[in-house]
Structure 1
Amino acid sequence: MRKKSNAITSTAFLAQLDQNLRQLLSTVQTELAPLELAQLNHKPAPTAWSILECLEHLNRYSRYYNPRFAQALAHARPSAEAEVRYSWVGRKFIEMIAPTNPKKAKAFGYMNPSGSQLDRETLTEFCAHQQQLLALLAQARHTDLNRKAVPVEFLKLLKLRLGETFELQVLHEQRHVQQALRVKAGLSDANRPETTDAAPSLLVASL
């Protein structure tokens, strides 16, 4: 994502989010979807999330935010090209959720999928949510992105601007897809058979 200090118009802003979202969807389809179900459900540690749990976490947020985006757009008035602006709270949320922020944030209980029974339907649902979000971004063209129109999931009395909430959603998804990719990267180590010092020659011969 871009630096918040740089001004950006609504058209360029939506185009950037669209590009980032398409890249994220392609990554999930090419890097994660081909994995076996056992790999998708592998947990690198007892308290860590599996790949499917990362995606289910995002699905739970999409179930809330995609309908709120649609509702906000249904009541939006046409607007001319304008610079996208951020509320103070929106900036803080974006800094917190950005994939470049190494600090972990604890998920609310009902958004924590740990221990859920998940299958490939989780992947299917995730991809469907992304297609919905792409359609919503397209619908948001010529819309006032600076209007406070989207209630925050955990504090519905607080509304964020439409544009900054779109960005928050994409950043959140990037963050957890990166987490899922790290789980995938560790699969080769997790599935590697244990070796002993009893037969070192076999290791050399297999290289």
Structure 2
Amino acid sequence: MTTQALFSELENVTKENIHYLEQNVLPLTPEQLNWKPRQDVWNVKEVIAHVYEHAKYYHSAFSKKIDTTKFREPKDLFLSSPLGKSMWKSMKLGNARNVKRKMKAARLYNPLIVKSIVTEHVIADFLASQKELLNILERAKTINIRKAKIRLVGNNVIKFRFGDTLLLVVYHNQRHIQQVINLIQHPKFPQP
């Protein structure tokens, strides 16, 4: 795919996430934010806390790599590595906005295990991080996103192409925003 098409996709998905959060999540009451259909399911705040924890790691890694990479020449085409493509495709929603493959959250990013990641201001914090991500995407256009590499969260060994990791993060965000949408559309979701 062209690098321009990749960035366009990433920006569009991120802007959709921001719009949904601003229009549909910020106005929710504390009761709605904390509602869950079952005890083993994350509520809206827990879902957002999960993606915000990932955002904190990846946004820092992206910014640091943009500032320090020696690969300063952007290229017109981006080619995913086979493993990178497999990784982000497994995260991407299906055509019907459904989750194709369920995954288990790492313990450190699971709000049912690490309750401290669910803070009072986690919705606003994540929304701010999504706006920060748009800035990171703009800055990333100035480097070679095929040659620059990023370590996966919780993994000190494997590095993926910067572009593949951007796709992973944005599709991970989209996947969990869809989880929030599904919660809000649940027939028993409390009405204000």
1:64-108 per-residue CA deviation (whole Å, 9 max, x = no partner) reads: 100000011012332143211111221121122112243211111
Specify the alignment match of 1:93 in structure 2: 87
Alpha carbons of structure 1 residues 181 and 120: separation in structure 2 relative to 1, 3 Å:
farther
Q: Structure 2 CA distance, aligned partners of 1:165 and 1:91? A: 9
Instruction: Tell me, yes or no, if structure 1 residue 43 matches structure 2 residue 42.
Output: no
Give the Å deviation of 1:23: 1.1
Task: Write the letter of the residue equivalent to 2:18.
Answer: L
Contact 2:146 2:161 in 1 (8 A): yes
User: Cα distance, 1:170 vs. partner?
Assistant: 0.5
- What RMSD over aligned residues (CA atoms) do the two structures have, in Å? 1.7
Instruction: Indicate the residue corresponding to 1:28 in structure 2.
Output: 21
Runs of at least 5 residues in structure 1 that lack an aligned partner in the other structure: 1-7, 193-207
Q: Quick one: structure 1 residues 108 and 80, their matched pair in 2 at CA, closer, same or farther if it must change by over 3 Å?
A: closer
Displacement of 1:59 after TM fit? 0.6
Which deviates more from structure 2 when the two are superposed, residues 111-120 or residues 30-39?
A: 111-120
Structure number with larger C-alpha Rg: 1
The equivalent of 2:153 in structure 1 is 153
Q: Does structure 1 residue 110 correspond to structure 2 residue 108?
A: yes
**Alignment TM-score, normalising by the size of structure 2:** 0.89
Q: 1:50 to 1:83 in 2, by over 3 A?
A: same
Which residue in the other structure is 2:52 paired with?
59
How far off its partner does 1:148 sit?
Answer: 4.2
Letter in 1 for 2:188: D
Give the whole-Å Cα distance in 2 for the aligned partners of 1:182 and 1:33.
16
Query: TM-score by structure 1 length?
Result: 0.83
Q: How does 1:107-146 map to 2 (within 5 A)?
A: 107-114=105-112, 116=115, 118=118, 120-146=120-146
Gaps of 5+ in 2: none
Counterpart CA distance in 2 for 1:191 and 1:24 is: 22
The equivalent residue for 1:12 is: 5
Amino acid in structure 2 at the alignment position of 1:157: V
Q: Which has the higher contact order (CA 8 A, sep 6+)?
A: 2
Q: How many residues align?
A: 184
1:43·1:49 contact (CA, 8 Å) conserved in 2? Answer: yes
